[in-house]
Structure formats: C-alpha cells, structure tokens
C-alpha cells in the first residue's frame, strides 16, 4: 500500500507470468485487482488459487467483478458464490446491481455478510444502461453504513457508461456533488479506464483520488500522473 490514492486494475485475462512481472515493477503502486466481468469462473481452479495467493502475498486485494455476484443472485446461488470466494482465495468481493435490479435491503445484507467473512467489500453504483445519478450521495452513505469499504462509481471497462456519456465525458455536476462531500472521497473509487478521464479526476480532486478499471499495463503511467511525472500533470503535482 502507498501514500497516494488507491489504484484498482481490471483483469480481463492476465496470465501468471504477467502478474509476476507486474508485481515486480508495479506492486508499490497497485492496491486492488478486479477480475473483469465473470472471467474468474473460467479459470482452472488451481491456476486461480495460485494467482490469488500471489496477489495476496503482495498485499493486493483481489476480487471477482460484480457481474459474477449478479449472476449468482439471478440464479439464487449467492450462498455458493460466497463459499467460492473463500474456496478460491479471494480477499474481496464486489456487490453490484449494474445489470439487474438487486433490492437495496438484499445488497446491504450481503455487504454485512461479506464483512463478517472479513472480506474487503466494494459496492458499485451506477447502472450500466443509465447516466442519471439522482440521490447518489445518499446511496453512497447507505452502502458505507452497511459496511462497504469502498463504493465504486460505474464506468465500465470502456469508460462510456455510468459516470460517462458515450463519448467518455463526465458531467461537471457529478464532480461538483462529490467536491461538496469531500469527506466521502477516501471511500470512493472512480472507474476511469481512459487516460483523459484519469487526468480530469486527478486535476479536479488531487493525487489522492482513487481510480479503478485501470489497464494493468497502465499502472506506472497512472503513478506518474499522480506525481507530476508526465507533462499532463507536471505543474499540478510536481513539487
């Protein structure tokens, strides 16, 4: 873990050798790894466990994408889902409702259950097919009160939904809403896969903003942006 904002990468199929290489050069700048979509259930079990244990030894929290939780909820298999979280050596879980509607009471009960299992809990807000954020602050506070460690603001792996419009731009009013609630920022992870989005968030909120859905090859690039070691943020953070 490090002194600046948290970084979460999205893993869409990173092999063991790539993970080892990434941890060799970038583990000081990486906090969380999310398996994209439902990809974690497509691994050979022994390979998944090996990968997760390697991440855990490097103090990187690993968890399956929220789509897998939603699939389990949809098929009434949440108990098996939580069993598998421990079985396959995950250290976190994402409780989302981005694709299907999950009742808030159910979501909060699952958040509490995950905390009882001593998992790091990420809840996700922002429908994949919506751009409206009515009452988002109250939703964040309810999730945190239920026990979420972090609330992830949806942007998908493309950065073109949830927080963003189809061109990848985020509305100023969303930024201003959270600027007015700055005490919540340490618990918010902004999904921002595109460099332009990362730069915008860093310039608006500072180097401590938490950023997610980062491509694994961009870990050091983002770390450089946080420190003013790229021209885009040179005059913002270089001291």
pLDDT digits (tens, 9 = 90+) for 65-101: 999 999 999 999 999 999 999 999 999 999 998 889 9
CATH number at residue 16: 3.20.20.70
pLDDT at 1 over 50: no
Banded model confidence at residue 3, pLDDT cuts 50, 70, 90: low
Domain ranges, residue 186? 7-237
Q: Averaged over 231-237, what is the pLDDT?
A: 94
Q: Is 129's pLDDT higher than 50?
A: no
Place 28 in a pLDDT band, splitting at 50, 70 and 90: very high
Is 1 among the domain residues?
Answer: no
Average pLDDT, the chain: 91
* pLDDT at site 154: 83
Greater confidence (158 vs 103) lies with 103
C-alpha to C-alpha distance for 18 and 55, rounded to whole angstroms: 12
Q: What is the β-pairing status of strands 61-64 and 92-95? A: unpaired
Instruction: Examine residue 37 and state whether it is found in any structural domain, yes or no.
Output: yes
Q: Whole-model pTM?
A: 0.93
Torsion over CA: 14, 8, 213, 119 (sign) = positive
* Number of compact structural domains in the chain: 1
Quick one: pLDDT band at residue 173, thresholds 50, 70, 90? confident
pLDDT at 169: 80
Token pair 């009960």 is found at 109
For 59-63, 107-111, 190-194, which range has the lowest pLDDT when averaged over its residues?
190-194
Instruction: Give the chain as a 3 state SS string.
Output: CCCCCCEEEEECCCCHHHHHHHHHHHHHHCCEEEECCCHHHHCCHHHHHHHHHHHHHCCCEEEECHHHHHHHHHCCCHHHHHHHHHHCCCCEEEECCCCCCCCHHHHHHHHHHHHHCCCEEEEEECCCCCCCCCCHHHHHHHHHHHCCCEEEECCCCCCCCCCECCCCCECHHHHHHHHCCHHHHHHEEEECCCHHHHHHHHHHHCCCCEEEEECHHHHHHHHHHHCCCCHHHHHHHCC
């Amino acid at each position: 873990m490090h002194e600046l904002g948290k970084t979460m990468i999205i893993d869409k199929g990173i092999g063991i050798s790539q993970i080892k290489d990434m941890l060799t050069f970038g583990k000081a700048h990486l906090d969380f790894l999310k398996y994209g979509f439902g990809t974690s259930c497509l691994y050979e079990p022994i390979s998944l466990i090996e990968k997760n244990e390697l991440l855990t030894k490097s103090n990187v929290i690993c968890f399956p994408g929220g789509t897998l939780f939603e699939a389990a909820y949809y098929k009434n298999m949440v108990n098996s889902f939580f069993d598998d979280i421990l079985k396959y050596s995950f250290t976190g879980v994402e409780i989302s409702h981005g694709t299907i509607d999950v009742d808030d009471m159910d979501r909060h009960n699952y958040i509490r259950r995950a905390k009882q299992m001593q998992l790091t809990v990420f809840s996700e807000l922002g429908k994949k097919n919506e751009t409206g954020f009515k009452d988002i602050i109250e939703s964040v506070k309810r999730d945190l009160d239920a026990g979420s460690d972090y609330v992830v603001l949806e942007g998908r792996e493309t950065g073109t939904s949830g927080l963003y419009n189809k061109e990848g731009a985020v509305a100023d009013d969303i930024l201003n809403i959270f600027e007015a609630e700055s005490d919540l920022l340490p618990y918010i992870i902004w999904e921002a896969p595109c460099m332009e989005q990362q730069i915008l968030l860093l310039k608006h909120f500072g180097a401590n903003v938490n950023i997610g859905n980062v491509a694994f090859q961009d870990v050091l690039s983002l770390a450089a942006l946080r420190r003013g070691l790229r021209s885009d943020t040179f005059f913002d953070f270089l001291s």
